[in-house]
Amino acid sequence: MTQAATDRLMRIAVSGSSGLVGSALCDELSRQGRDVIYILREHAAPPNSIAWDTTNNTFDAQALSRCDAVVHLAGENILGRWSDEKLNRIYASRVDSTRALAQSLAALEHGPRTLVVASAVGYYGNTGQENARTEEDPHGEGFLADVCVHWEQAADPARQAGIRVVHMRIGVVLSSKGGALKQMLLPFKLGVGGPVGSGDQYMSWITLHDLVRVLIYAIDTPSLSGPVNAVAPEPVTSRKFAKALGRVLHRPAVLPAPSFALKLLYGKSCAEQIVLASIRAVPKRLADMGFVFDQSDLETALKHELQTSG
């Protein structure tokens, strides 16, 4: 960070600021007194934002040069039937945009020295019932694993230019405002909730509250770089998750969502690699650095998120 940067509020550019995670991150950064600059698609970019020309995949370099750190969270929703067009959008929105951003940052003589990029625990593929994966483990197989590998490699231009790059391998984000948990609430409240598939597959989860804390920790910690598993310390099986959510909502959690129904709903590939996949990851690097989660017990976290008791 330059001397000029230390004389003013830390200025952080954020893409994906309208999403579940991005909006929560921007709110917390602003609450802390940081200067948040939104990276927005060119047609919607006001004067105080950073324009992103998604057609040519270019960023306003001059605006980026005035920032101290960049958090890149934008990406196509991975849920939904995986047509060729959908797969291309998933890949391009992550890999191509990260590469373009990294190249833009690398070309700056003065600019952000930190780049925090979203990734996913899908990097490890379907781990089944095997030992939990740490950041030291190799990538798995499948479309999502390949995307994550290329996604992280796409930041190489920034890394090679001496910019500190952190890859956030994010798990299932728990929030009543959106994402997987919000989709689960209605069937559980109606008494027809339960585990998905066999119920034995692992879910690596993190609350939205703690994910925002991890992202800010990555921004503020100069010694942290490379992959970081942004997940709570205790992954749980789908069956245990369903039981915990049922207890919090005071509803039964015994009716499983059968695999064939999920494949019909989401399509075979999407269901097998996301909804029915077992991904057991743990936050070894965060633990080694002394990071403490506020919400590491699943049932307590669900109670807090859903503002229920008992």
Phi, psi of 85 (to 5 degrees): -65, -40
**What does pTM read for this prediction?**
0.93
**Cα separation of 266 and 148, whole Å?**
21
* 237-281 per-position pLDDT tens digit: 999 999 999 999 999 888 888 888 888 777 888 888 888 899 999
Whether residue 167 contacts residue 297, with contact meaning beta carbons closer than 8 Å, is answered with no
What integer pLDDT is reported at residue 2 of this predicted model? 44
**Cα separation of 217 and 239, whole Å?**
32
- Tokens 């490890």 belong to 124
| 20-31 vs 208-220: helix crossing angle, rounded to 10 | 60
Q: Write the secondary structure of the chain as one string of H (helix), E (strand) and C (coil).
A: CCHHHHCCCCEEEEECCCCHHHHHHHHHHHHCCCEEEEEEEHHHCCCCCEEEECCCCEECHHHHCCCCEEEECCCCCCCCCCCHHHHHHHHHHHHHHHHHHHHHHHCCCCCCCEEEEEEEHHHHCCCCCCCCECCCCCCCCCHHHHHHHHHHHCCHHHHHCCCEEEEEEECEEEECCEHHHHHHHHHHHCCCCCCECCCCCEECEEEHHHHHHHHHHHHHCCCCCEEEEECCCCCEEHHHHHHHHHHHHCCCCCCCECHHHHHHHHCHHHHHHHHCCCCCECCHHHHHCCCCCCCCCHHHHHHHHHCCCC
Amino acid at position 122, single letter: G
What integer pLDDT is reported at residue 3 of this predicted model? 41
What integer pLDDT is reported at residue 5 of this predicted model? 43
Torsion, Cα 44 50 51 53, to 10 degrees, reads -120
Taking 70 as the pLDDT cut, the residues of the chain under it are 1-8, 43-45, 308-310
Candidates 71, 97, 63; CA nearest to 13 is 71
What integer pLDDT is reported at residue 8 of this predicted model? 56
What integer pLDDT is reported at residue 16 of this predicted model? 95
CA 131-153-225 angle, to 5 degrees, is: 70
**Cα separation of 115 and 196, whole Å?**
36
Nearby residues of 198 by Cβ (< 8 Å), 6 or more positions away: 238, 256, 259
Strand partners, 133: 281
77: its two tokens:
């929703």
What integer pLDDT is reported at residue 163 of this predicted model? 98
**Cα separation of 102 and 116, whole Å?**
11
Domains, the chain, in order of start with CATH, read 3-238+267-305 (3.40.50.720)
Neighbours of 290 (CB within 10 A): 6
| 136 Ramachandran zone, left/alpha/beta (phi>0; psi -120 to 50) | alpha
